[in-house]
Amino acid sequence: MKKDFVHLHLHSQYSLLDGAIKFDELFDEVKKQGMTSVALTDHGNLFGAYEFYKNGKKKGIKPILGCEVYIAKDHKNKNPENNKTHHLTVLCMNMEGYENLCSLVSKGHLEGFYRKPRIDRKMLFEKSSGLIVLSGCLNSEVCFNILKGKKDEAIKIASEYKNVLGDRYFIEKT
């Protein structure tokens, strides 16, 4: 693996049914692979953030905090027929970004919880300072629309993120 590679989409034991790696094992493997940093992007939560950060620092690996959030058109709408959730990968650039991500994840649990802790684009854009956003996995808004043959809708969504976030929005390779 190239030394300049950084894994930016990784789930741990705090992503139920999707991740199982424990942090000691993770950082040993990251070091073995010659990487100098790695991100944590558990589904809908930051439960492992402190442990991840502490272990990364202890092992000499730069920990990047993030979350794979569930994004809906309207986080308060509980009608799943027209308010499907999609995945979106959000990473912290700095302390302000971490505080904003904590706020988003908390609001997702307290205000938008319907089967999953949901946020919406309006919330994200209001709290986007200090955050980097990746388009997400195959269950992202962009990929979902491409897979449904709605290329124009996918471009419209990606353009909206790019217009608001500028050089802090990236298309994630899946």
Q: Residue 3: its pLDDT value, please? A: 61
- Tally of domains within the chain: 1
Reported as type and span, the H/E element at residue 51 is: helix 49-59
Residues in contact with 95: Cβ distance below 8 Å, sequence separation at least 6, in sequence order: 130
Confidence of residue 115 (pLDDT cuts 50, 70, 90): confident
pLDDT at 162 over 60: yes
Average pLDDT over residues 140-154: 95
For 38-96, what is each residue's pLDDT tens digit?
A: 999 999 999 999 999 999 999 999 999 999 999 999 998 887 777 789 999 999 999 99
b/e per residue 41-55 (b: at least 16 CB within 10 A): bbbbbbebbebbbeb
Q: Mean pLDDT across the chain, nearest whole number?
A: 93
pLDDT at 100 over 60: yes
Domain that holds residue 106: 23-170
Task: Judge whether 101 lies within some domain.
Answer: yes
Residue 40 CB: number of other CB atoms within 10 A? Answer: 30
Lowest pLDDT segment from 19-33, 63-77, 144-158: 19-33
Task: Judge whether 4 lies within some domain.
Answer: no
Task: Judge whether 9 lies within some domain.
Answer: no
pLDDT at 106 over 80: yes
Task: Judge whether 85 lies within some domain.
Answer: yes
Q: Are strands 37-40 and 86-92 parallel, antiparallel or unpaired?
A: unpaired
- Kindly report the length of the chain: 174
Q: pTM for this structure?
A: 0.94
Task: Judge whether 5 lies within some domain.
Answer: no
Give the Cα separation of 102 and 98 in Å (integer): 6
pLDDT at 17 over 90: no
Chain-centre distance for alpha carbon 121: 13
Task: Judge whether 103 lies within some domain.
Answer: yes
Task: Judge whether 8 lies within some domain.
Answer: no
| Cβ-contact 169, 133 below 8 angstroms | yes
Lowest pLDDT segment from 74-83, 129-138, 146-155: 74-83
Q: Tell me, what CATH number does 109's domain have?
A: 3.20.20.140
16 burial type by CB count under 10 A (0-12 exposed, 13-18 middle, 19+ buried): exposed
Average pLDDT over residues 13-37: 89
Confidence of residue 174 (pLDDT cuts 50, 70, 90): low
Task: Judge whether 146 lies within some domain.
Answer: yes
